[in-house]
Structure 1
Amino acid sequence: MKKCFLMAGAAAFALSVQVAPAIAQEVEDEGELKQDTIIVSARKKEESLLEAPVAVSAFDSSAIENLQLESVDDIARFTPGLSFSKAFGRSTERPVIRGQSNVLAGVQFGVESGTAYFIDGVYYSGSIQNLDPNDLQRVEVIKGPQSALYGRNTYAGAINFITRGGADEYEGSGKVRYGTNGTREYSASLAGPLLPGLTGRLSVRDYEYGGEHRNLVTEELVGQESTFSLSGVLDWKPVESFDSRLRVNFTEDRDGALPLFLQTAEQNNCLPGYRSQAFWSRSGSTNRNQYYCGVIAPQPVQLNTGPDADGIPNLIPGVPINATNVFLPRAYGLTDGTAFDGIARDLYVVSSISTLRFGDTGWEMGLLAGYSDEHLKTGYDSDHSPVNFFLFGPAAEPFFANTNRKDIEDYSAEFQLRSPQDARLRGMIGLYLYDQLINEGDITFANP
């Protein structure tokens, strides 16, 4: 009950951040707004959050700092209708808005969740859990079909991260954070004018989390996270009718083995059938249930991510130490069962946003372009257990290992022509181009 009370209080605080300007506007005699109003761009135009006729949740920089939002997972905790899960560490994530998604999103090639990420309005295809929260000016979560205005993969919604830009005066900020389980973070940002009409910002972040779960096979910690990121922004406004932003970002992730666990068929408690543990005569089990009904409780982590520390196999219920059949020639092994563990990612992202206004007519032309180059290696023990055998010899990939590498390049470009947005009849027309190239291969002991 205590946890629920604290979360409800935090949600109420997040709501008060959004509705406070409306309350202030009502009580002011002169109609002057004493508090900052949250401006959103959910409809590809800047307007007050209270005036936008779309379902959108917004967090400005003060809310991000006060609520200590460190990731998209934290944002989901304070956003009604948005849920988030990371299936396999910081390489696979499933943002879901209003329940519209697919269980295979992020796991099976070509299946997407229906909720897309954008940075400054430019489509972002990779994992966003490593985004520097100190580099954000605002986060907008657009829900429902109105998000189709953003384009690709947005039938359920869109999450737009608006980054901090340059500053007209020199300013700097820094942050140091320490926590349990080896958590530490150092970040700094410097912004100011560079040339007439040109301002810039440089941000750097170093984050590390030491993990809190221990692998009983190797007796080592698992679940570590490490990120180093560097980003630069140039804002250029040579004349009143034109402005442009160029953003360049580099991110390096180095995460440890994922803290996965196995709930065995011996714990199944409903619907007997041929998939049960007892159906395999060698198991010695009498449990004929083939499904588990209820909440899955955490189990010990026992992964073959390295040599067995004590030289004694870690047994799992229903799999005897001498278990063999045509499909399982060696049930247990004491050697490393994965050619690569964890996540290694090097990511380069470049984006450009330009707007040209045609005098005082209200007509605008916009051009958005993005490029990303990602080198990703992931590896985990996909049976989540100490069972370990090779089907084609110890130099090949183990049968229950999921280790691969990807080289991914993304290109996107969008052209927009907008009519005066304050007119009763208004519109926008545009063209959008997106292209992605993926080279993928397995990581084996013979070819790491």
Structure 2
Amino acid sequence: MAKHDTPLLDELEKGPWPSFVTDMKRQAETHPECWDILGQLELSYKDKITHWKHGGIVGVFGYGGGIVGRYSDVPHRFPGVEHFHTVRIAQPSGLYYSTKNLRGLMDLWDKYGSGMTNMHGSTGDMIFLGTRTENLEPLFWDLTHNLEQDLGGSGSNLRTPSCCLGESRCEWACYDTQDVCHHLTMHYQDEIHRPAFPYKFKFKFSGCPNDCVASIARSDFALIGTWKDDIRINQAAVKEYIAGNYPSNAGAHAGRDWGKFDIKKEVIDLCPTGCMWMEGGELKIDNAECTRCMHCINVMPRALKPGKEKGATICIGAKAPILDGAQFATMVIPFIEVSKENEYENVIDVIEQVWDWWMEVGKNRERVGETMQRIGLPNFLRVMEIEATPQHVREPRSNPYVFWREEEVEGGWERDVVAFRKKHAA
């Protein structure tokens, strides 16, 4: 395969930043099909349209997901990318790879594909970029039998669950993210590999409210670690921060003089609910008003820690802007215990309750968050058997009408009124 003139792409090699164009040219020295990728991309820049065909189903025997079909619409000009399928590889929890494992994966891709990868983009998986249809079955055999690794999810199914490092390295983790992620990956193998949903569905697991995998913005089901009791305070350490003996932000800004630490300016005044103050030389927190934003803990990690009664918050319905605008997940369950002892049955119950509803009322290619918007949050909460709280209200009601369900009017409502009158008769 010949090199192509790529004046537009060559512009992307200028400047101080690393360039994917340079990487692809280097890769083309051993995988000539990469010249055709560059040539087709240059043509797309000129024509201002993609030259990948839309649609196309391709996979391996027994699996409906894991491989994304890619076909060029100008194969006569760029035969190296006539077929250029994307293969998703299920990542280990927390992205802990051994060097041996990584070398095995790279050797496999050099053998069967272009050698190009996308390491853990928004999908979560490791992505193998570019191979032909006839290479898929032998690649899959070697991957599963020799490396004992699996394909990830693609299509209208459960996508490969992903998580932060959790308790393996983070002192703020409120549950074992890696164990939950691994357990649910094993538990839902059928849902990952055989698409049966209205559209894609993503789990992401963050150990604390810092949400290092951005689960609240990128997943249909976000399990975010939290605590139920009070923030733990080491008052002696607070004094050390105020005195300047401990670096704030865990020393993250070493090398630059940010001036003397000011607890009022840098912590108390930045609390979103104003629930902190100094009194008698001690830091006070009104924990009932705390929203677990983690700012104070991040700034003064030696002085403040999450509470001891740990669990997670469940948020549902985030998505990127495809059919409708981007949206964050909605907080549905403020606190749930996350326990290995019961194999996360309570979390699984919530997941399957969501699925049962969504698979019944969701439209084709409609994410669960879009179904929630269309049907309405009150209806969703009713199906989930969750009592609405003020935090579920986006804005005050702007019309004068009140609607009652039949069961609230006939019997239930009257009983409440009678009971109230009896209670306050005196």
Query: Normalising by structure 2, what TM-score?
Result: 0.29
Q: Of Structure 1 and Structure 2, which has the larger fraction of its residues in strand?
A: 1
Query: Normalising by structure 1, what TM-score?
Result: 0.28
Larger relative contact order (CA 8 Å, sep ≥ 6): 2
Q: Of Structure 1 and Structure 2, which has the larger fraction of its residues in helix?
A: 2
